[in-house]
Amino acid sequence: MSAPEITTLEPGDLHLGGPAWRAAEAAGHDMSLIVEALRMPVSERLRQHDLALNAALSLREAFVQQYAGTGKAHRETY
């Protein structure tokens, strides 16, 4: 028998505040991001992930280009 499929969950369907949830919160994870992800269909989670990845790569590329050859790219101040 195959396992149940992943389904989209509304905040009311989630059982928040248990020990693992509290532990993650105490460790500094932004749990609102997780609640938001759990509300999304899986396809949207993938889309948002890929957008975030490409936004980060674009910013990194722009940063590297701006400071290429200046020796400043990894100093603490500019």
The reply on whether position 1 binds other proteins by CB under 8 A is: no
- Binds other proteins by CB under 8 A, chosen from 50, 59, 61, 73: 50
E strand map for 1-78: none
**Measured distance CA(59)–CA(63) in Å, rounded:** 6
DSSP code for 74: T
Looking at 1, 20, 74, 75, which residue binds other proteins (CB under 8 A)?
Answer: 20
| Contacts of 42-50 spanning 24+ positions with Cβ under 8 A | 42/6
Residues forming contacts to other proteins in the complex (CB under 8 A) are 2-6, 9, 14-16, 18-21, 23-25, 27, 29-31, 33-34, 37-38, 42-43, 45-47, 49-50, 52-54, 56-57
